[in-house]
Structure 1
């Protein structure tokens, strides 16, 4: 249960504890990160509340030029440099499709948004757009870089600024992960429908129809469709892809956003409990100690199986997904290298409650 603190009380606590990162401070104090940001609305160099809906917000982000897009969950942070392309979507789902900025957007979770301008330690101005869900958890952040267009940022803020600039942010309780859902009597029907899939996007609606969720379906489907792998598989695969030099896709998301990297990974750096990709245009930060289960999954498609590595936390939440990717010449060489790599990983015995 999160504390019900006033904006003034939050600012006072932050003054006593200025060093932790915003998200870490919020977690330590039992508040939402969105409440911490909102607490400074109206203060000198404080954030400005703006419209949160992606249909209005994201088309204006294109004019900012080269930025850093950040999407995270409890266990992984995905940071990608690039220019936002055209936003296409409905009230239910939106898309930005690009080689660098590649996003799947779920607008119902875009509840509050802020534009921030904060003086940096070096005297420069740090600018960002930060979006939060109903629980006050970060959905997506866009950080301007020195190459970004500051005038376009000012125009965006002027266009989307809300009349009401409150420093209070009411939040709903954070939804708990449901854990694996399995409906044993529907297993045969689900397996038959799974084997008849022609597109991996059919998967979620199919398993929900039969009373499963993603993790429950993987556990129930079993080999050869789904195989449990060692917990350190993500690190093993990142290092192998780096050494092999072939492109891969890495998906990290939360309820409101999925962000995708497509391309090589080069500099793999372990640091304490974290495994990191530290490339010039892409960073990944994964809490390896949060990984409780890793699955090799082969979903049938019209053009051959879509082979993924998928990591889950102890609560059953999806941390990230990894796939092969066609190479720059649009051939399947990268996919074939990926498939050979992950299919060669040894399965482990399922020791699950």
Structure 2
């Protein structure tokens, strides 16, 4: 474990002079993780909480309407709703509601804080979860209608004995580079074609000593087709214009958050491409997208066609699928959009 190089009081003094930077960026400017920055305020608007998922998620429904936020270095997803319908699991847990749809991986939930902080908009209350490196896994941000009485009960009930202002962190794990095994390409294609569920894919690649991006690079069409990275923002515009509902997956090693529905209000702000809809925001660094694949995975309900974006290190930024609901199946229109996406510049692909 790496130790904190700055004393908590020095971190707080530096933070008092902060202007405009996001907490993550400011922490990195000090050589800290965001989790270490938050920990420095323990006892001063910040309370360390016991980090067991079952205890935490047993309390969340009582907060009422909140914002759920999950991010990776290139994309942020924010959904407004209630935390309900929690499903516990040792290796993976879930929240399944119409508004908030999460997959959580408990081993990555290493530090949890209740944070109360004065902002220009008033007192902001949030629950913030960090992994062993001090990187944010998930955040829950209270809204005007949230139950503040229950917030107080939650903080008192889950407060940890340890309220130290320092956090020892492990080195951040780099993204896994694309890993393929050309000698197993035929086996990959054969087993891929036999899949009946998308969740079987990662087990298949692991068995063949590959990973997601490495497998895409050698699978070939019609299983995986390279797409022009610049086409992603245009794809969002076509989804909006054709009123196609989609499933958008954004995550990190500890949490995946999912939006199911339409996208409407699209705006480019500097390097960020944004979806700014009621109840759903997405913020995408489109300039981070280095590689995009259109992927076809067979399932018992028909082919699952996705568009998946990766950064220059091979890390997955987001995945987009067509959505089927009880009222409508948007997948045929989505599949046609994906089929028309251009290949990488200079390849001549359709």
Please state which band the TM-score falls in when normalised by the shorter chain. over 0.9
1:24 counterpart residue number: 25
After superposition, where does 1:1-353 map in structure 2 within 5 Å? 4-43=5-44, 46-122=45-121, 124-327=122-325, 329=327, 331-332=328-329, 334-348=330-344
What CA distance in whole angstroms lies between the structure 2 residues aligned with 1:280 and 1:269?
14
TM-score by length of 2: 0.95
Does the C-alpha gap of structure 1 residues 71 and 350 become closer, same or farther in structure 2, counting only changes over 3 Å? farther
Aligned residues of 2:308 and 2:320 also touching (Cα < 8 A): yes
TM-score by length of 1: 0.95
What CA distance in whole angstroms lies between the structure 1 residues aligned with 2:346 and 2:286?
19
Aligned residues of 1:267 and 1:277 also touching (Cα < 8 A): yes
Larger CA deviation: 30-39 vs 3-12:
3-12
What CA distance in whole angstroms lies between the structure 2 residues aligned with 1:35 and 1:132?
9
Query: How much does 1:19 deviate?
Result: 3.3
What CA distance in whole angstroms lies between the structure 2 residues aligned with 1:236 and 1:119?
39
SS in 2 for 1:157: helix
What CA distance in whole angstroms lies between the structure 2 residues aligned with 1:60 and 1:299?
37
What CA distance in whole angstroms lies between the structure 2 residues aligned with 1:6 and 1:170?
12
What CA distance in whole angstroms lies between the structure 2 residues aligned with 1:239 and 1:113?
37
Larger CA deviation: 10-19 vs 106-115:
10-19
SS in 2 for 1:116: strand
What CA distance in whole angstroms lies between the structure 2 residues aligned with 1:53 and 1:105?
12
Query: How much does 1:325 deviate?
Result: 0.4
Does the C-alpha gap of structure 1 residues 165 and 217 become closer, same or farther in structure 2, counting only changes over 3 Å? same
Query: How much does 1:52 deviate?
Result: 1.5
Structure 1, residues 236-281: CA drift from partner, whole Å, max 9, x if none? 1111111111211110000000000000100000111110000011
Aligned residues of 2:4 and 2:168 also touching (Cα < 8 A): no
What CA distance in whole angstroms lies between the structure 1 residues aligned with 2:102 and 2:51?
16
What CA distance in whole angstroms lies between the structure 2 residues aligned with 1:151 and 1:18?
32
What CA distance in whole angstroms lies between the structure 2 residues aligned with 1:295 and 1:350?
16
SS in 1 for 2:309: strand
Aligned residues of 2:4 and 2:166 also touching (Cα < 8 A): no
Q: How many residues align?
A: 346
Aligned residues of 2:228 and 2:344 also touching (Cα < 8 A): yes
List gaps (5 residues or longer) in structure 2: none
Larger CA deviation: 338-347 vs 108-117:
338-347
Larger CA deviation: 317-326 vs 228-237:
228-237
List gaps (5 residues or longer) in structure 1: none
Query: How much does 1:24 deviate?
Result: 1.4
What CA distance in whole angstroms lies between the structure 2 residues aligned with 1:22 and 1:106?
24
Aligned residues of 1:246 and 1:327 also touching (Cα < 8 A): no
What CA distance in whole angstroms lies between the structure 1 residues aligned with 2:292 and 2:38?
35
Query: How much does 1:172 deviate?
Result: 0.3
Query: How much does 1:347 deviate?
Result: 2.2
Query: How much does 1:15 deviate?
Result: 2.6
Aligned residues of 1:115 and 1:130 also touching (Cα < 8 A): yes
Larger CA deviation: 12-21 vs 258-267:
12-21
What CA distance in whole angstroms lies between the structure 2 residues aligned with 1:296 and 1:82?
31
Query: How much does 1:292 deviate?
Result: 0.2
What CA distance in whole angstroms lies between the structure 2 residues aligned with 1:343 and 1:19?
42
What CA distance in whole angstroms lies between the structure 2 residues aligned with 1:175 and 1:315?
12
Aligned residues of 1:248 and 1:322 also touching (Cα < 8 A): yes
What CA distance in whole angstroms lies between the structure 2 residues aligned with 1:264 and 1:41?
40
Does the C-alpha gap of structure 1 residues 136 and 144 become closer, same or farther in structure 2, counting only changes over 3 Å? same
